[in-house]
């Protein structure tokens, strides 16, 4: 049951579900943190090019211990592998790809998402951060934005809100939200609950979401 899974298992479940959003032949950016895990679950029959803001086009899975190269990292400074045919470039060229709208999909983490698709994922006021990263460019440059995150924060409070309380990364940029409890689409006038994870009920998802949810006529139960 989803409620009894440990944190690592829940993160793996979210990453596996997010992998289903990736279409063969697409160019994809994976944000730092949990989104980087998605690279480990991409099916072998999918032809996908993963892009990183720091200048790597063709990221592979996470390296085994004997494969670690400290000079080969993603934008989150995690060691990665390079897939066959990978190429390296400057950050300027990498951001030109992003700003030129050459990314088909970006899977990013989120702190808060509002009912109209606003995203807050780069800072909490009062806490030290290293910088804003590339998310502000990515959310406007990628053709589709999928946010993966826990449904509630460590205090049990909703992270899907009527309005974001944290500084915004972008306004109206989110297309889909994938959490440990549900999959929710951001439509023009509402949020639509399209999937409920096994172990959770519709009522529990609604109660743990501040924003109003419309229930899809084709609601599915996600089993991973």
In the residue annotation, 53 being an active-site residue is answered as yes
DSSP the chain: -GGG--HHHHHHHHHHHHHTTPPTT-EEEE-SSGGGGGGGG--TT---EEEETTTEEEE-SPPPGGG--TT-B-TTS-B--EEEEEEE--HHHHHHHHHTT--SEEEEE-SEEETT--EE-S--TTS--S--TTHHHHHHHSS-EEEE--SB-TTS-BSEESS--SPPSBSS---EEE-SSEEEEE-SS-EEEEEEETT--HHHHHHT-SS-EEEEEEEEEE--
CA pair distance 185, 177, nearest whole angstrom: 6
Catalytic residue among 53, 112, 115, 195: 53
Q: Indicate which residues carry an active-site annotation.
A: 53
């Amino acid at each position: 049951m989803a409620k009894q899974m440990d944190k690592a298992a829940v993160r793996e479940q979210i990453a596996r579900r997010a992998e289903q959003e990736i279409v063969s032949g697409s160019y994809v950016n994976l944000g730092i943190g949990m989104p980087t895990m998605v690279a480990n679950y991409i099916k072998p029959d999918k032809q996908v090019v993963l892009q990183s803001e720091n200048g790597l086009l063709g990221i592979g899975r996470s390296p085994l211990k004997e494969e670690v190269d400290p000079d080969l990292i993603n934008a989150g400074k995690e060691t990665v592998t390079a897939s066959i045919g990978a190429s390296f470039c400057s950050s300027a060229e990498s951001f030109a790809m992003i700003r030129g709208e050459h990314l088909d999909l970006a899977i990013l983490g989120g702190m808060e998402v509002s009912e109209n698709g606003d995203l807050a994922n780069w800072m909490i006021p009062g806490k030290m951060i290293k910088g804003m990263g590339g998310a502000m460019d990515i959310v406007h440059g990628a053709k589709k934005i999928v946010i993966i995150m826990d449904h509630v924060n460590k205090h049990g409070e909703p992270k899907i809100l009527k309005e974001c309380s944290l500084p915004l990364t972008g306004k109206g940029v989110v297309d889909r939200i994938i959490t440990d409890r549900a999959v929710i689409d951001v439509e023009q006038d509402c949020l639509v609950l399209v999937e409920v994870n096994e172990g959770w009920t519709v009522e529990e998802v609604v109660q743990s979401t501040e924003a109003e949810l419309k229930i899809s006529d084709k609601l599915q139960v996600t089993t991973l």
